[in-house]
Amino acid sequence: MKTRIVEIEEEHIDQETIREAGEIIRSGGLVAFPTETVYGLGGDALNPASSRKIYEAKGRPSDNPLIVHIAKWEALSAIVKNIPEEAVRLAQVYWPGPLTMILEKSDLVPAETTGGLNTVAVRMPSHKTALAFIEAAGGYVAAPSANRSGRPSPTLARYVSQDLAGRIEMIIDGGDVELGLESTIVDLTAGTPVILRPGYITRVMLESTLGRVEEDVTILCDDSGQAPKAPGMKYRHYAPKGELTIISGPQQAVTDYINAQLDRYRTENKKTGVIASEATVSAYRADVCKNGGSRQDESALARRLYRILREFDDEDVEIIYAESFEGAGVGQAVMNRLLKAAGHRVTELK
Ligand code: TXA
Ligand code: MG
């Protein structure tokens, strides 16, 4: 299959191209499109054959459910059994935006789209091209991140093309995404709302709207022995090809330790990389040093993390060290993704 790549500017949406993209979805094909979080791989959420195609194109296990993207609030009632009060309040504050809600699904949503679950994940993205595309596609677009399974989520159309060219009908190139991390997922089907995947909308933000909100225990540690409630969170994700280790502790100890490791790997002719903050990045002796941005701005690394991981792959870096980037807000989501990328390999220094 030849994949058509079209450019659409969010501020000057070409309606004819959007109509063509929508037509591909309506006739059972797949189109990758930009959202404010990451690029999505879209198919008709109400067509079981489309969902099967999405799994196949991504190389993704079919027990891992898809998020259904809608463009207007009125679209929600047809795909869910009931709309809880919490969903109404969250939508008023955070939709359109980087928040996904888990709700009881209606019979309209095929089991293929939800990985056999009785619940459905729903999100209304804020990206204008995404909204126009969803409308043109019939109103319900199932879309996982537009990467091959196990690769970092794409923040540029170029990365979608690297992973999916030849496997899907069209890629809408909308340039760089705004946020760079996937949406926050909150489960509203189990009494107290539970965060299944952290993101830009933090626990504090959700609690200011809803009152008490819990977090799935598997979010930051993987030794809980429990299975994550978002099936996708159990898979090793976002993994770069090189071996990534996070080093935490007092800054000077971290820098000295990493440099000693880098020197050792250099004698073995291994290509090395580092992810460090803006303030410390120049202190490292790695072959490839990546600036994760200022520690004062937790969203800086969120925006560039996936791109950095892909660049390490493109440059064939074999050994990667990252400083730890814990934080109270978005920093928690960043650390969650970094830990997954590292397969939870962390060395803590005193
Ligand atoms: O920002 C985003 O959410 C992006 C853009 C494209 O919208 N999409 C995205 O989709 O990240 P994906 O498929 O890569 O991640 C969806 C996550 C998976 O971990 C999946 O297991 C979980 O959502 N999920 C989907 N439906 C679910 C359900 N009914 N119950 C629990 N978890 C669910
Ligand atoms: Mg994904």
Position 220 in a domain:
no
Residue 200 confidence (pLDDT) above 60: yes
Q: How far is the CA of 151 from the centre of ligand 2 (A)?
A: 8
The average pLDDT across 13-33 equals 98
pLDDT band at 228 (very low <50, low <70, confident <90, very high): low
Among all bound ligands, the one having the nearest atom to the CA of 185 is 1
Nearest Cα to 122, choosing from 85, 160, 86, 75?
75
Residue that is last in its domain, among 165, 198, 215: 215
Position 331 in a domain:
yes
Among all bound ligands, the one having the nearest atom to the CA of 96 is 1
Same domain, 98 and 197: yes
Helices 298-314 and 157-164 pack at an angle, to 10 degrees, of 40
Same domain, 36 and 136: yes
Q: Report the pLDDT value the prediction gives residue 151, as an integer from 0 to 100.
A: 86
CATH number of the domain where residue 201 is located: 3.90.870.10
Position 227 in a domain:
no
Sheet of strand 40-44: strand arrangement: 4-7, 170-173, 31-33, 40-44, 141-142, 67-69, 119-123, 99-104, 184-187, 194-197, 214-215
Position 236 in a domain:
no
CB 26 within 8 A of CB 44: yes
Q: Are strands 141-142 and 40-44 parallel, antiparallel or unpaired?
A: antiparallel
Same domain, 54 and 198: yes
pLDDT band at 227 (very low <50, low <70, confident <90, very high): low
Does the pTM surpass 0.85? The reply is yes
Work out how many domains the chain is built from and give that number: 2
Ligand 1 within 6 A of 54 CB?
no
Residue that is last in its domain, among 215, 235, 253: 215
Residue that is last in its domain, among 198, 215, 232: 215
The average pLDDT across 39-60 equals 96
Other CB atoms within 10 Å distance of the CB of residue 76: 19
Residue 166 confidence (pLDDT) above 70: yes
The percentage of residues in the chain with a pLDDT greater than 90, rounded to a whole number, is 86
Ligand 1 within 6 A of 134 CB?
no
Q: Report the pLDDT value the prediction gives residue 149, as an integer from 0 to 100.
A: 87
Atom 30 in ligand 1: residue holding the nearest Cα = 230
pLDDT band at 64 (very low <50, low <70, confident <90, very high): confident
Same domain, 28 and 114: yes
| Mean pLDDT value across the chain | 94
Position 225 in a domain:
no
Distance (Å, whole) CA 195 – CA 203:
8
The average pLDDT across 272-284 equals 97
> DSSP letters along 263-288, please?
HHHHHTT--EEEEE-TTTGGG---SE
Position 69 in a domain:
yes
Same domain, 197 and 250: no
CATH number of the domain where residue 273 is located: 3.40.50.11030
The average pLDDT across 31-52 equals 98
Residue 223 confidence (pLDDT) above 60: no
Nearest Cα to 216, choosing from 207, 224, 204, 208?
224
Collapsing DSSP to helix, strand or coil, 123 comes out as strand
Residue 233 confidence (pLDDT) above 70: no
Q: Report the pLDDT value the prediction gives residue 348, as an integer from 0 to 100.
A: 96
Residue 225 confidence (pLDDT) above 70: no
> DSSP letters along 29-84, please?
--EEE--SSS-EEEEETT-HHHHHHHHHHHT--TTSPPEEE-SSGGGGGGTBS---
Same domain, 205 and 265: no
Same domain, 210 and 265: no
Q: Report the pLDDT value the prediction gives residue 314, as an integer from 0 to 100.
A: 93
Contacts 24+ apart (CB under 8 A), 163-167: 164/3, 164/32, 164/41, 164/57, 164/58, 165/3, 166/1, 166/2, 166/3, 167/1, 167/3, 167/30, 167/57
Same domain, 132 and 268: no
pLDDT in tens, 113-165: 999 999 999 999 999 999 999 999 999 999 999 999 888 999 999 999 999 99
Among all bound ligands, the one having the nearest atom to the CA of 69 is 1
Helices 298-314 and 330-341 pack at an angle, to 10 degrees, of 20
Q: Report the pLDDT value the prediction gives residue 167, as an integer from 0 to 100.
A: 98
Of 19 and 151, the structure prediction assigns the larger pLDDT to 19
Measured in degrees and rounded to the nearest 5, phi and psi for residue 133 equal: -65, -45
Q: Report the pLDDT value the prediction gives residue 265, as an integer from 0 to 100.
A: 97
pLDDT band at 50 (very low <50, low <70, confident <90, very high): very high
Same domain, 209 and 261: no
Q: Check residue 9 and report its DSSP letter.
A: B
Q: Report the pLDDT value the prediction gives residue 236, as an integer from 0 to 100.
A: 58
Q: Report the pLDDT value the prediction gives residue 327, as an integer from 0 to 100.
A: 84
Distance (Å, whole) CA 35 – CA 99:
12
Other CB atoms within 10 Å distance of the CB of residue 42: 32
Q: Which atom of ligand 1 is nearest to the CA of 229?
A: 31
Same domain, 193 and 301: no
Q: How far is the CA of 317 from the centre of ligand 2 (A)?
A: 23
Q: Report the pLDDT value the prediction gives residue 26, as an integer from 0 to 100.
A: 98
- Per the structure, the complete domain to which residue 282 belongs is given by 243-348
- Kind plus residue range of the DSSP H or E element containing 160: helix 157-164
Q: Report the pLDDT value the prediction gives residue 329, as an integer from 0 to 100.
A: 86
Q: How far is the CA of 90 from the centre of ligand 1 (A)?
A: 18
Same domain, 19 and 104: yes
Collapsing DSSP to helix, strand or coil, 104 comes out as strand
Collapsing DSSP to helix, strand or coil, 210 comes out as helix
Position 86 in a domain:
yes
Position 224 in a domain:
no
Q: Report the pLDDT value the prediction gives residue 220, as an integer from 0 to 100.
A: 57
Other CB atoms within 10 Å distance of the CB of residue 110: 18
pLDDT band at 100 (very low <50, low <70, confident <90, very high): very high
Of 340 and 93, the structure prediction assigns the larger pLDDT to 93
Same domain, 62 and 184: yes
Q: Report the pLDDT value the prediction gives residue 219, as an integer from 0 to 100.
A: 65
Residue 232 confidence (pLDDT) above 70: no
